[in-house]
Amino acid sequence: MSVCKHGNLCATPPHMLRQIVQNGNTSQRERAEKTLDSSEQFRGKRVALAEGPFTHAASGAGLHRSVYNANNGSSLPGSMARDEGAAATGDNAVDEAYDGSGETYRLLKDEYGRDSLDGNGMKLKSTTHYQTGYDNAFWNGSQMVYGDGDEDLPEDERFFNRFTISLDIIGHELAHGLTQFTAGLRYVDQSGALNESMSDVFGSLVKQRKLNQTAADADWLIGAELLTSNVNGSAIRSMKAPGTAYDDPVIGKDPQPGHMRDYKDVDYDNGGVHINSGIPNHAFYLIALELGGNAWEKAGKIWFQTLTDASKMNRRSQFTDAAKATWEVAGSLFGTGSLEQQAVKKGWNGVGLEVDGNDNGGGGGGGGNTGCLVAPLVLTRMFT
């Protein structure tokens, strides 16, 4: 996700759009510029979004989805297209938004006992067919919004399919709502990369659970269906092998590191929230693989418990804090010194982080208790 107009959190990483501006043809360039412009405005409002307060309509206990159609306009939510319990419409975007919201709800409810994003039965609202040629999807603090990608362009010019096409993207965006209502991780530097990573983790788990895949069988890709065959790439991110999702003359190369030694301290993308998220993403992958079986059962439970426990994770949590917190949670869930707790330690060690608050792989950008402390201190002053 990138930060979009009015502080919304978006699916398409800005580094991808910048590459299209540089390398695309005229229509591709214009489109990417438009999306990028709206992505980079109103940065300050993102902070407001991340910190609330939030108003939303609770629908009472249970699953309640409402999917709307913006009819290519910008008004939200648009006209009702499919309310909870209604039959499939035959409109792919509407039905995918409906089904994907349901799969996300069921992961949270059936596996972790949480009733919707806010824990209080919040209605899951989605708007589809937002604008024309809109290459993004976003969570605006109270609902999901999906563009149709490049589906209006000639096939050989398309980079992106409609944004409802990947279940993990739907789960990713909704998980931003979960984070918003729980740890509230600030969308900047390491806490922002953790925010992004939480969304990739739960987005991938929604998909893996739907496909009934073990950690070993899963592809661990984010947005595998999103890129068209015109792009030399398999997805927008890979949790299994960060930095390898795509390498394309127009879109550029996947910039994600998978280890602290390759941490990228950058002054764009809110300090690289879509870039350095590769590090905690890969830690989660290593842990899930080490534990075996279904990733949502043990690794996912540890992550969920950490994210939703205010004593374990908060707005300012850094990578080392996440490592320590997940290790502690694994100890309380499965026993001190348990195989599960050892797996968590091993996974974080695999990306250059220690569960005792140190990192051993270098990496700047505001390490938690060690490393460069200047950036986070400055930012804390700015945003408090």
Q: Where on the chain is the footprint of Zn ion (CB under 5 A)?
A: 1, 199
| Residue 203 and residue 220 in contact, taking contact as beta carbons nearer than 8 Å | no
259 is catalytic: no
Calpha distance 208→295 (Å, rounded): 8
DSSP-derived secondary structure for 130-162: -SSS---EEE-SS-EEE--TTTTS-GGG--B--
40 is catalytic: no
Q: Which is nearer to Zn ion, 199 or 341 (CB)?
A: 199
Retrieve residue 366's tokens. 């505001």
Q: Which is nearer to Zn ion, 199 or 276 (CB)?
A: 199
Q: Which is nearer to Zn ion, 69 or 199 (CB)?
A: 199
CB-based closest residue to Zn ion: 1
For Cα atoms 327, 260, 348, give the angle at the middle one, nearest 5 degrees: 20
Q: Which is nearer to Zn ion, 1 or 122 (CB)?
A: 1
DSSP-derived secondary structure for 243-300: T-SBEETTTEE----SSGGG----SSHHHHTTTTTHHHHHHHHHHHHHH-S-TTTTHH
Q: Which is nearer to Zn ion, 199 or 306 (CB)?
A: 199
Q: Which of 173, 196, 290, 340 is catalytic?
A: 173
- In whole angstroms, how close is the CB of 54 to Zn ion at the nearest point? 17
Calpha distance 352→363 (Å, rounded): 9
Tokens 């965006």 map to which residue?
173
- In whole angstroms, how close is the CB of 176 to Zn ion at the nearest point? 6
Retrieve residue 333's tokens. 């869930």
Residues 6+ away with beta carbon under 8 Å from 277 = 193, 194, 196, 197, 200, 237, 256
Of 185, 186, 184, 181, nearest in space to 382 by CA: 186
- In whole angstroms, how close is the CB of 220 to Zn ion at the nearest point? 16
Calpha distance 226→328 (Å, rounded): 36
| Residue 243 and residue 137 in contact, taking contact as beta carbons nearer than 8 Å | no
Q: Which is nearer to Zn ion, 81 or 313 (CB)?
A: 313
- In whole angstroms, how close is the CB of 237 to Zn ion at the nearest point? 10
Q: Which is nearer to Zn ion, 95 or 269 (CB)?
A: 269
Q: Which of 172, 274, 290, 340 is catalytic?
A: 274
Calpha distance 150→135 (Å, rounded): 7
- In whole angstroms, how close is the CB of 273 to Zn ion at the nearest point? 8
- In whole angstroms, how close is the CB of 222 to Zn ion at the nearest point? 9
- In whole angstroms, how close is the CB of 1 to Zn ion at the nearest point? 2
Calpha distance 347→327 (Å, rounded): 10
Largest Cα span, the chain: 59
Catalytic residues: 173, 274
